[in-house]
Amino acid sequence: MKNRLCELLGIRYPIIQGGMAWSSDGTLAAAVSNAGGAGIIGTGGRSAEWVEEEIKKAKSLTDKPFGVNLMLMAPNLNAIADIVCKEKVAFVTTGAGSPIPWIEPLHKAGVKVIPVVPNVKLAKRIAASGADAMVIEGMEGGGHIGTMTCMALLSNVLREKYPIPVLAAGGISDGRAMAAALLMGADGVQMGSRFLLTTECPVHPKTKEMIVKATDTDCVVTGQSRNMGVRCLANAFTRKYLAAEISGAPNATLMEMGTGTSRMGMQEGDTENGSIMVGESLNVLNEVLPCKDVVERVIADAKAALAKAASIEL
C-alpha cells in the first residue's frame, strides 16, 4: 500500500500503533515498525529517564521510523519533549491538551506532529495549524475516550478534504475495519488494542489472557458522566468506581481511586483491582501473535475486503 501517510512517515503500510500507557515500550514500537507500520512509545505515567531509555532501545532494535506519544497534561512534559527533540524521534502523537504550541518547537527539531482529535471543530483547527497529520479517534477504543463513535467521526470529519493525512482510530482491530476506514476516506489507521495481544508487548500474561477470553459486552466506561471517560474491561475495580461515580463522589475521590490502576492492570496483572484498558472490538482479539504476523494478517484481510467491495454492484 502506498499513500500520503506512508510517504509522510516512510513506512510500508498505513498503520500506526497506539501509544498505550504501561503497554507501549521500545520493544513493541520497534517490532511494529519492523513489521511495516509505525510503532509508538507510550509515555503516560512514565519518567523522562524511562522514555529516553526506551527510545534508545527502539533505535537499537530497528532502523525504521517510530514515534512517541506525548500526554500534554503530564507534569514532566517539558522534560520528555526535550528528550524527544534531542533523540530526533520521527514523529509524536499528542493527547490530553492542545498540541498547537508544540508544533513549531517540535518541527524545529525535525519531529513530525500528529495530534489525536475527537470532533470536527478540532479537526479543522488542527488541519490549519501546521500539524503533519491527525488521528480522529472514536469512543470505541480503549483508555481515555471522547463521545463520538469512529463511524460518526469518519462521516462528519471526512466530508471535506484536508491538506494533511487523516487516520482513523477507535475499535479498529482487524483488516475489515481498516478497509472500511480507507473506503470512508481515511489515509490510514491507528490500532492500539490489537497490539496488546502480541508477543512483543510487555502487558502481563494474565491481562492478555483476560482480553482473549472477553466478549463484546465485557467492557465498560468509567468516568463518562464527569468527562473523564475511560474504557476498560469490567472487574472489581470498575464496579467499585462506577458505584462511587453514580453515588456522586467528588472528582478528587474518583481521581484518587483511579491512580495507579493502569499500572496494576496492564503491567502487574491484577485483573480484578487494576484497570484493563482495551477497546470494544473484543471478539477479534482472540490470539497472541508476533507483531509481524498481526500486521501481515491485517493487510491481507484489508486487501481482501477492499477487493470484495470493488466487486459489489449496486
Domain harbouring 36, CATH code: 3.20.20.70
Q: Could you tell me if residue 280 is inside a domain?
A: no
- Are both 162 and 226 inside the same structural domain? no
Shared-domain flag, residues 44 and 184: yes
Give a yes or no: residue 278 inside a domain. no
Does residue 210 share a domain with residue 304? Answer: no
* Predicted local distance difference test score (pLDDT) of residue 313: 84
Judged against a pLDDT cut of 90, whether residue 228 lies above it is answered with no
Per-residue confidence (pLDDT) for residue 285, from 0 to 100 = 96
Judge if 192 and 212 occupy the same domain: no
Containing structural domain, residue 118: 4-201+286-308
Cβ atoms of residues 306 and 3 within 8 Å: no
Res. 200: pLDDT tops 80? yes
Q: Same domain, yes or no, for 94 and 157? A: yes
In a domain, 182, yes or no: yes
Co-location of 83 and 211 in the same domain? no
Whether 213 is in a domain gets the answer: yes
User: Using 50, 70 and 90 to split pLDDT, how confident is the model at 169?
Assistant: very high
Same domain, 97 and 217: no
* Residue 272 counted as domain residue: no
| Averaged pLDDT of the chain | 95
pLDDT at site 225: 85
Structure confidence by residue, pLDDT tens digits, 107-130 = 999 999 999 998 999 999 999 999
In this predicted model, what pLDDT tens digit does every residue of 234-270 receive, in sequence order? Answer: 999 999 999 999 999 999 999 999 999 999 999 999 9
Cell of 279: 477497546
276 within domain boundaries: no
Instruction: Please tell me the pTM assigned to this model.
Output: 0.93
Dist CA 22 CA 43 (whole Å): 8
Residue 1 has pLDDT above 80, yes or no: no
257 domain residue, yes or no: yes
Report pLDDT digits (tens) over 22-57.
Answer: 999 999 999 999 999 999 999 988 999 999 999 999
Q: Within this chain, do residues 116 and 138 fall inside the same structural domain, yes or no?
A: yes
Q: Looking at residue 102, what is its pLDDT? A: 92
Q: Are residues 170 and 263 in the same domain?
A: no
Domains: count for the chain = 2
Query: Picking from 28-37, 60-69, 142-151, which range would have the lowest pLDDT averaged per residue?
Result: 142-151
165 within some domain: yes
Cα-flanking dihedrals φ and ψ of residue 306, to 5°?
-65, -40
**Ranges assigned E (strand) in the chain:** 15-17, 39-42, 66-71, 91-95, 112-117, 134-137, 143-144, 166-169, 188-191, 219-222, 230-233
Q: Specify whether 126 is located in the same domain as 250.
A: no
Instruction: Say if residue 124 is in the same domain as residue 231.
Output: no
Tell whether 218 and 113 lie within a shared domain. no
